[in-house]
Amino acid sequence: MKRFALTALILALALAPAAAQGIDLGNFPLGSWLDANYDAVWEFSSGNIRILSPAGDVLFDFGAAGVQNFKVGAGGDGPFITFACEAAGRTYKITKPLTKSSAVLEIQRPNLADYKVEMPKK
């Protein structure tokens, strides 16, 4: 019985990362936007979100890290996505206003002030 319980625990731990929600951007625009405050490029591609350096080096890969509570929606301001990332310890909302080429990034960070920036299209 102990062997069965241990095997079940090991299997559950091995499958836990696979249980992280996938990234399906739906009708959210694909492309790259620059967060000039952090000299970082947010890249939205089919099935993934990454943060890159201006030179193209991957700084953070949300597809690899896993996201939770991923949602694509459309509000009065335009399409948006919201999600949490346990590995980053933050929750995110990115809105693409209908009347602008820029995107608005909002981050809720524990123990730090919320962050909001308008990012021009790269």
**Boundaries of every domain in the chain:** 21-119
pLDDT in 10s for each residue of the chain, 122 residues = 444 333 333 333 333 444 457 899 998 999 999 999 999 999 999 999 999 999 999 999 999 999 999 999 998 889 999 999 999 999 999 999 999 999 999 999 999 999 999 999 99
Distance separating alpha carbons of residues 52 and 45, to the nearest angstrom: 12
DSSP-derived secondary structure letter, 22: P
CA distances from 54 to 36, 68, 74, 100, 102 (A): 10, 27, 29, 22, 17
pTM to 2 decimal places: 0.81
Cβ burial, residue 113 (10 Å; 0-12/13-18/19+) = exposed
- What pLDDT is stored for residue 23 in this prediction? 93
- What pLDDT is stored for residue 32 in this prediction? 98
Tens digit of pLDDT for each residue in 67-95?
Answer: 999 999 998 889 999 999 999 999 999 99
- What pLDDT is stored for residue 21 in this prediction? 74
- What pLDDT is stored for residue 20 in this prediction? 58
